[in-house]
Structure 1
Amino acid sequence: MAAPGLVKVRSTRPKRSSPDLPLPWDSRPQRPRRSDRGSVTAEAAVGLPALVAVLGAALWAVALVGAQLACVDAARAGARAAARGEPAEEVRAAAALSAPRGAGITVSIAGEMARVTISVEVRPNWGPMLPPVHVEASASAATEPGVIDLSGRSPEDGVP
């Protein structure tokens, strides 16, 4: 019994309607409800293939940028060799040193400008079913005095 002069006060906390629903002030760890079981597995089954696809696209983009940079470097090397007056075979050899495998090399000298174009079809090693992507780069350089252009005119002809 309560001591004389003390009043018994009832608790104002609501009673739980279900033992699985936590109350906001309840800090005890709760067990997951049965309907949530397996949700992490389902989310992983959806998320992992998407993550792999994004990673594959990123690696493919890096490979394309690498091929583009190799084409630019090869075109610059070829244009410098052509501007010095090297024979066409040596210009192609200089460009082929840094060009991607299977690249097409085009050399043209017109007037006082030498131009080298490198083009290649890039296909991923890991995805043979994917279509190839065309990558191309070109570089131009002013020829040194006395270099004969491929059109057959010499600089002494006075034709611009």
Structure 2
Amino acid sequence: MRSDRRRPGDEGMATAELAACLPVLVLLLAVALTAVAVASGRVRVQDAAREAARAAARGDTAVATRLARQAAPGAVLSIRRAGTDVVAEVHAQVRPIGGLLPAFTVTGAAVAALEPAASGASP
């Protein structure tokens, strides 16, 4: 026959275990959200760099700047010519969890070959 009696001192054990594990769970959630925010920012700056490089290769730096700002708002774009190529670099700050954690800088770069009509123009 089974007894349904509890041992003395067992009351509240589940609450105590939850209280001990809760900070670890919150920390894991914060790390996961930070990783997602940084990865998302990295994708945005890479897209911005790619679009800017393609537009700059056609000789249109104004469109390159506009496209980069659309793809990664608040990012800094730099375009330079390297021989027969155009290199676009985009840097942005990612502030995970609404700015509660320190900011991370993410960078994206892309290279595009200068198009023949744009060879005389400088980015």
Query: Shift of residue 36 of structure 1?
Result: 1.6
Q: Which has the higher strand share?
A: 2
Amino acid corresponding to residue 25 of structure 2 in structure 1: L
Deviations 1:69-112 (A, max 9, x none): 001111110111011121x222111211111x321110112321
Structural mapping, 1:33-112, within 5 Å: 33-86=7-60, 88-99=61-72, 101-112=73-84
Query: Shift of residue 54 of structure 1?
Result: 0.6
Amino acid corresponding to residue 6 of structure 2 in structure 1: P
| Inter-partner Cα distance in structure 1 for 2:63 and 2:98 | 34
Amino acid corresponding to residue 102 of structure 1 in structure 2: G
Cα pair distance change 1:126/1:96, threshold 3 Å: closer
Cα pair distance change 1:127/1:38, threshold 3 Å: farther
Q: Which of the two has higher C-alpha Rg?
A: 1
| Inter-partner Cα distance in structure 2 for 1:103 and 1:71 | 8
TM-score, normalisation: structure 2: 0.89
Query: Shift of residue 57 of structure 1?
Result: 1.1
Indicate yes or no: 2:111 matched with 1:134: no
Deviations 1:32-55 (A, max 9, x none): 201222111110111122112111
What residue is the counterpart of 1:119 in the other structure?
A: 91
Once the two structures are aligned, what percentage of the paired residues are identical? 39
Gaps of 5+ in 1: 1-25, 152-160
What residue is the counterpart of 1:17 in the other structure?
A: none
* 3-state SS in 1 of match to 2:4: coil
Give the aligned length: 122
Gaps of 5+ in 2: none
Deviations 1:14-33 (A, max 9, x none): xxxxxxxxxxxx4x143220
Amino acid corresponding to residue 92 of structure 1 in structure 2: T
